[in-house]
Structure 1
Amino acid sequence: MGDSLAYQIKNMVFEGGGILGTSYLGVLDYLYRRGRIGGLQRLAGTSAGAITACIMSFNLPFEQIESIAASLDYKKIPEKTEINELKLIPEEVKAGLDELFGDINCIYRLLHDYGWFSTEYFYSWIQRVIADQFDIRKKHPPYTFTDFKNPYLHKENRPFYDLYIIGTDLSMKTSRVFSYETTPLMEVATAVRISMSIPLFFEAVKLQKEAANGTSMNTVFCDGGLLNNYPLNLFDTPKFNLDPYYGVNMETLGVRFMQQLNYKEIDCLLTYIESLLHAASYIQQGIYDSNPLNKERSIVVDTQGISPVDFDVTAYDEKYWFLYMQGYKAAKKYFGA
């Protein structure tokens, strides 16, 4: 689109969007087929975009990226694991509580961990995916951003692309960038888990942090999309580009979803959370719209109203393929061929 095509793509940024992130596979299919990202150096993403950025950072052929993505069982992501503290309750008592209040495990999790569903399945999955890229003889998991930066530890000594994950630090009421520069000793799987932890829908991530006076603080993190769902301007600083075009790094290519403002009836916790996320996203839309160059460097995917929290998807089923092809078509339209 326009002048943006004259620049080499060195950075890619992926917006958050739950299961809509499946469409990123179609975008990448197009980009890899056409050899558009041979100069790629850095990847950033929020939520579903963080998952894509993480997998893509391994610097693998597209076929392997696609295979890894397809191994994620979407239906297991909203997980209702049993809470350890509730295992001592007799089953007949628990059944009565479930009948009275709904799922007692989920209610307990909502009250104590601030989310209805567990993210244990996803966390275990992303840990395995990451571990598969490392030579376990050289270092055992967990793997940090520093480890991602060290090709000696990787299988085949393959260098990774630089990775930037967006999260929300609720304790400090601010957006956070997790990366080699900012959080070198942080486990990457934890950073991705934070980034996809939709408020109220998924449990929050609690981490211990040492305060200046030596005491321990409990810090609560959640979905990066709450404050920065599309970190397109992350690489607009002189650190990443000494010759910006009107203050913008045109070597950054972003991928996002078409925003559609319409009425949605709120009749349960799920639709409440979904509408809450859309509201936060629409507020951020103003930042994106404020600079026409943001549109110049963004592939926009039309997902035609599919809910980002509709996890009733199976790899390569009809909905999966629809999102995949919408991503491919959007990339093709952007590049005009």
Structure 2
Amino acid sequence: MNVDAVFAGGGVKAFAFVGAVEAAEERKLSFTRIAGTSAGAIIAALLMAGYTSKELYRLLDQLDVVKMKDERMSFLPLPVAKWINLYFRLGLYKGDQLEAWLQDVLAAKGIRRFADLPSGSLRVIVSDITQGRMVVLPDDLPKYKYDPGAFSVAKAIRMSCSIPYFFEPVKLNDRSTKKKTFYMVDGGLLSNFPMWLFKDGSQGGWRRPVIGFQLAPRLDERPPAVINNAVDMYKALFETVTSAHDVRYISEKHAKNVVFIPVEDIKSTDFSLTNEEKRHMIELGREKTTAFLSTWTP
């Protein structure tokens, strides 16, 4: 069966998507179009490039996630250097290693630019914090005077994965004037789970069935935020800002098309994952997706 798919952001928790894809393959599901945010965009791009679940497993199993934390060279003491990078570079880590890895693994399948993919098959969510708006790549690139087909897929994914303050923002220069610079960061700020993206506005429905893969519990199983201090309040505010738009859309009538994979006790930025933790997430993704597909009716 041909379906469209949406993969949510979630940092290193995205290992669970490998198991989810394996379960989908076992049910003979074929992804025609895929959208993703942040780590979900990585999975989306790799799938559209032609990677199978087995290949994804090997690829991510061999990935040294610690190397993704690429600090700038400095002769200053580490704590001082980190604060300087955070203040002046706007991020602790560059993000170059992530983009370089993406370029290599995509090029291995012959994918470098969006033109190398079927038209409209991959869409990536990015946050333009200079203009305060959500950006869908490659669709919105003409607004910045870029040719969508010629734009680097790896660059787009890196933008979507640029967690604020963790990775440096990606600077996109306006090609018409050369005078404007737009700061692009993690798409999860504005839509971490863009299930709405494939809705056909003219018909009010879907071109084909859409399945979403979410790295969180079902909406009715999520505990309320506990707010006892300013830090708790900040976390609650951030969670509200990043999820309110998507939660409202899902809760209306689309939750029945979402695979909820509750990856708990692992932080999105925990780059020191053990092999056991990776395997646990992969198995959890497979288990939840298998259970979902056993009762799902498009």
Normalised TM-score (structure 2): 0.85
- Structure 2 residue 113 is the aligned partner of structure 1 residue 144: yes
- For 1:307, the equivalent position in structure 2 comes to 267
- Is the CA contact 2:191–2:246 (under 8 Å) kept in the aligned structure 1? no
Structure number with bigger Rg:
1
Change (3 A) 1:76 1:162: same
In structure 2, list runs of 5 or more residues that go unmatched.
Answer: 142-147
- Structure 2 residue 298 is the aligned partner of structure 1 residue 298: no
> What is the CA deviation profile of residues 10-50 of structure 1, one whole-angstrom value per residue up to 9, with x for unaligned ones?
2110000001101000101111122122xx21111000100
AA at the equivalent of 1:112: F
- Is the CA contact 2:23–2:289 (under 8 Å) kept in the aligned structure 1? yes
- For 1:156, the equivalent position in structure 2 comes to none
AA at the equivalent of 1:146: A
Aligned pairs for 1:66-215 within 5 A? 66-82=57-73, 91=75, 94-95=76-77, 98=78, 102-104=79-81, 106-134=82-110, 143-149=112-118, 162-179=121-138, 182=141, 183-211=148-176, 214-215=177-178
- For 2:194, the equivalent position in structure 1 comes to 231
Distance 1:181 1:110 in 2: 29
- For 1:278, the equivalent position in structure 2 comes to 239
Per-residue deviation, 1:123: 1.2
- For 1:158, the equivalent position in structure 2 comes to none
AA at the equivalent of 1:127: Q
Answer with 21-30 or 281-290: which moved more.
281-290
Change (3 A) 1:57 1:186: same
> What is the CA deviation profile of residues 148-203 of structure 1, one whole-angstrom value per residue up to 9, with x for unaligned ones?
349xxxxxxxxxx8111111111111111112685322211110000011111111
In structure 1, list runs of 5 or more residues that go unmatched.
Answer: 1-7, 136-142, 151-160
Percent of residue pairs bearing the same amino acid type:
23
Per-residue deviation, 1:103: 3.8
Distance 2:71 2:230 in 1: 21
- For 2:9, the equivalent position in structure 1 comes to 16
AA at the equivalent of 1:287: R
- Is the CA contact 1:27–1:328 (under 8 Å) kept in the aligned structure 2? yes
Paired residue secondary structure (2:180): strand
Per-residue deviation, 1:282: 3.6
Answer with 214-223 or 44-53: which moved more.
214-223
Per-residue deviation, 1:300: 0.4
- Is the CA contact 2:169–2:185 (under 8 Å) kept in the aligned structure 1? yes
Per-residue deviation, 1:67: 2.0
- Structure 2 residue 215 is the aligned partner of structure 1 residue 257: yes
Distance 1:9 1:44 in 2: 15
Aligned pairs for 1:35-50 within 5 A? 35-37=28-30, 40-50=31-41
> What is the CA deviation profile of residues 114-164 of structure 1, one whole-angstrom value per residue up to 9, with x for unaligned ones?
1122212111111111111129xxxxxxx22113349xxxxxxxxxx8111
Paired residue secondary structure (1:221): strand
- Is the CA contact 1:274–1:309 (under 8 Å) kept in the aligned structure 2? no
Distance 2:10 2:86 in 1: 22
